[in-house]
Amino acid sequence: MPRKLIKTGTYSIMHLTVAVAVAYALTRDWHIALGVGIIEPMVQTVAYTIHEAIWGKVQDAEDKRDGQPAAPAAPAGVTPAAA
């Protein structure tokens, strides 16, 4: 199995565990904690994609201002966790 795939899987498990633990610590309710733990990573993925798009536009504007060619965009769905 490729190392990147293993790294992505272990990061996802860690993220889920932390999200559930924090939600449980705040609510003392496992049902809510599991719901938050499942939903939060999905919302975080969307937020990260938007964040990257905004920063990509900022970088492109800086490159254009500095006379440098724009960097190629990352393939859709690629996140640092997958790297």
pLDDT in tens, 64-83: 888 866 566 666 666 655 54
* Helix/strand/coil (H/E/C) assignment for every residue in 6-38: HHHHHHHHHHHHHHHHHHHHHHCCHHHHHHHHH
User: pLDDT digit of tens for each residue in the chain (83 aa)?
Assistant: 899 889 988 988 998 999 999 999 999 999 999 999 999 888 988 999 999 999 999 999 888 888 866 566 666 666 655 54
Say whether pTM exceeds 0.75: no
Distance CA 80, CA 51 (A): 13
